[in-house]
Structure 1
Amino acid sequence: MDSEAKVASLIVQDRAEWDVALIRHSFLPYDAEAILSIPISPMNPSDSQVWAKSPNGIFTVKSTHRVAAKYLDELKGREESPGSSDNSKMTEVWKGCVIAKETWAETKFRIDKLIHPPKEFLDVVWLLLESPGDTNCEAFAITAWGLWNNRNAVRHGEVCKRGKTIAGEAQKYELEVCSARPVNLIGVSSAPRLKRWCLPPKGTYKVNTDAAVFNNWGCCGFGVVIRNDKGELMGALCKKVEFPLGPIEAEAKATEASIYLAWDLGLKDIIVEGDSQQVIQALNGCITPALPILKIVEGLKLFLLRFNSWKAVHSRRTTNEEAHLLARNAMNVKDCVIWVEDTPPQIEHQILVDVSFLGVCPE
């Protein structure tokens, strides 16, 4: 590669995608994965200045304090200063520490088994929130706190606890939290009503999208299912991406793929449904997009202007099951499979389940 080459030379311009082969040939594996994990938008939105030390790219005085504290720590040769929130140290909560590995091994969170664990604690939280099934966020938070508290205690001269001890204490704390909650009134069911997929308004099309991150294989998958106001399947997509993306980046790119598929099918009035609350809220302008997906969201907003009407709605996993199944199945495809007015065999049963509940689904 030319020593004067710019980032644009690493992008296939007509497809607005990274030149995967060139990047992997020109860079060391670690650097290549770091580059490929940055999502880019086909709409080529304008460049903008961002502050890399905050999650949403917006400059804050608090973030400069963290940067300054870290710099002073390194300058003075100390491990870290009191009160400093250094994310490089937070990684010890879930990797690189024998005690942490022992602790996580005692829980249902298989963080210690990841071959390519996230580098930032916030990415771990996103990965947890986007994982399938019910997630016990309280147990995770209490366990992480127990590890961090133990680390600080050791730094101040106390005896280090074993992983089994930390995990056991975390379970006791969790039970205390549960017992402190008010008891439900007698006769009132505590179980929420299970929500099901519902028909979109007349004349519109519902676009369900989901992503799956396969950390152990360094790739991810996208799933898209599009149905009309009669519940008939208009199109579906199952795509495998052969490079690593974080959970939030994968969800954003899956949403992008779903919107582009709807456009290619000639559907101009759509409702986009996904179970990533961060992506949906960013599309609706409710929150500032997280820095890793900032340009993806900007590009999608520009592209959505071409539609007659659009709406983005956050859904639960139970109303997004077909897209989730296709995303998980992406491990079994070579690149991308698209179905038009045909039902993918992987989701036939779930489609029938949804149809059976259409008569009882509220409008």
Structure 2
Amino acid sequence: MHALIECSFARTCWFSSPVGFVGSCTSFLTWLEHIFTRCSEDDCNIAMMICWRIWIHRNDKIWNQKNGSVQQVLNSAGQLLYQWQAAKKQLYFVDAGVQQLAHGAVSWEKPEFGWVKCNVDAAVFASQGRIELGCVIRNSDGGFVAARCVGRHGSFSAREAEALGIREALSWLKEYKLPCVIVKMDCLQVFQALTEGFSGPNGFGLIIEDCRELALVIGEVKFSFVRRSANFAAHSVARA
């Protein structure tokens, strides 16, 4: 309990994670029962990876005199979970680009110098027959550049709404003339469609093709999948 949950570093990791800090547990088994009972499957998976990365961090500090940050622990947990899930489904081979783009990251990180990050999210309001699309651009210093929220009327599935959000963001980025952009999303289906050559005659497939064409016009565009906790700003804009 102390090493993985209650020490000051571990506690900060949990407070900063999408799982949150769960105190007042008499044992690690009690803590596990609480997590598996009350958390979603994705949060349970993240929680186990965070435990592992906290343990690795502890060993690195004791045996190798290496000090890592809370952000490094959380993002490495999300990235390794993403790699594990991809390997299980045999989606594709994971290479060094995964580490660079932080696929599956849990918290936001600044891009490399000369690049900007655009976080995109969509919100579906089925009862009102509309969707809201939000995106936030930040530079390599982590500074705010611009944000946008656009509404659309109609009946759309969640993945169609997320894909429309990417298309809207790319159209907007084209106007800004930003040649080096990392577009981040928390919808794995859309990310896979954009990066694995998906095509189809239906609405979703056509939106994905539009996104690819816009990306080619803009310049160097990289797509990245992140956990919702790392996409909070765009989620908030879409819900505003």
Range of TM-score over shorter length: 0.5 to 0.7
Q: 2:120 aligns with which of 187, 209, 214?
A: 209
In structure 1, list runs of 5 or more residues that go unmatched: 1-132, 135-173, 176-187, 330-363
Aligned to 1:264, the other structure's residue is in SS state helix
Aligned to 1:323, the other structure's residue is in SS state helix
Compute the displacement of 1:289 (Å).
Answer: 5.9
Please tell me the residue identity of whatever aligns with 1:247: A
Where does residue 239 of structure 2 map in the other structure? 328
**In structure 2, C-alpha distance between the alignment counterparts of 1:279 and 1:287, rounded to whole Å:** 10
1:276-355 equivalences under 5 Å are 276-285=187-196, 287-288=198-199, 291-329=202-240
Please tell me the residue identity of whatever aligns with 2:133: F
Deviation track 1:110-146 (CA, whole Å, cap 9, x = no partner) reads: xxxxxxxxxxxxxxxxxxxxxxx88xxxxxxxxxxxx
CA contact (8 A) 1:222 1:238 kept: yes
CA contact (8 A) 1:278 1:289 kept: no
Aligned to 2:217, the other structure's residue is in SS state coil
CA contact (8 A) 1:279 1:289 kept: no
Runs of 4+ with deviation above 6 angstroms: none
**In structure 1, C-alpha distance between the alignment counterparts of 2:238 and 2:157, rounded to whole Å:** 15
**In structure 2, C-alpha distance between the alignment counterparts of 1:282 and 1:189, rounded to whole Å:** 31
Where does residue 335 of structure 1 map in the other structure? none
Change (3 A) 1:289 1:311: farther
Deviation track 1:331-356 (CA, whole Å, cap 9, x = no partner) reads: xxxxxxxxxxxxxxxxxxxxxxxxxx
**In structure 1, C-alpha distance between the alignment counterparts of 2:51 and 2:156, rounded to whole Å:** 40
Q: What count of residue pairs does the alignment treat as equivalent?
A: 146
RMSD: 2.5
Change (3 A) 1:290 1:284: farther
Q: 1:263 aligns with which of 164, 174, 196?
A: 174
CA contact (8 A) 1:207 1:271 kept: yes
Aligned to 1:222, the other structure's residue is in SS state strand
Compute the TM-score of the two structures, normalised by the length of structure 2. 0.55
CA contact (8 A) 1:282 1:297 kept: yes
**In structure 2, C-alpha distance between the alignment counterparts of 1:311 and 1:251, rounded to whole Å:** 17
1:108-127 equivalences under 5 Å are none
Change (3 A) 1:220 1:313: same
**In structure 1, C-alpha distance between the alignment counterparts of 2:182 and 2:207, rounded to whole Å:** 18
The percent of aligned pairs where both chains have the same amino acid is 30
CA contact (8 A) 1:209 1:273 kept: yes
Compute the displacement of 1:291 (Å).
Answer: 3.9
**In structure 2, C-alpha distance between the alignment counterparts of 1:291 and 1:278, rounded to whole Å:** 15
Change (3 A) 1:290 1:311: farther
Where does residue 230 of structure 1 map in the other structure? 141
Where does residue 51 of structure 2 map in the other structure? 189
CA contact (8 A) 2:186 2:228 kept: yes
In structure 2, list runs of 5 or more residues that go unmatched: 1-17, 20-35, 38-49, 55-72, 75-105
**In structure 2, C-alpha distance between the alignment counterparts of 1:275 and 1:289, rounded to whole Å:** 22
Change (3 A) 1:242 1:287: closer
**In structure 1, C-alpha distance between the alignment counterparts of 2:128 and 2:53, rounded to whole Å:** 37
**In structure 2, C-alpha distance between the alignment counterparts of 1:278 and 1:312, rounded to whole Å:** 12
Please tell me the residue identity of whatever aligns with 1:279: V
Change (3 A) 1:290 1:237: farther
Where does residue 59 of structure 1 map in the other structure? none
Name the structure where helix makes up a greater proportion of residues: 2
Compute the displacement of 1:288 (Å).
Answer: 4.8
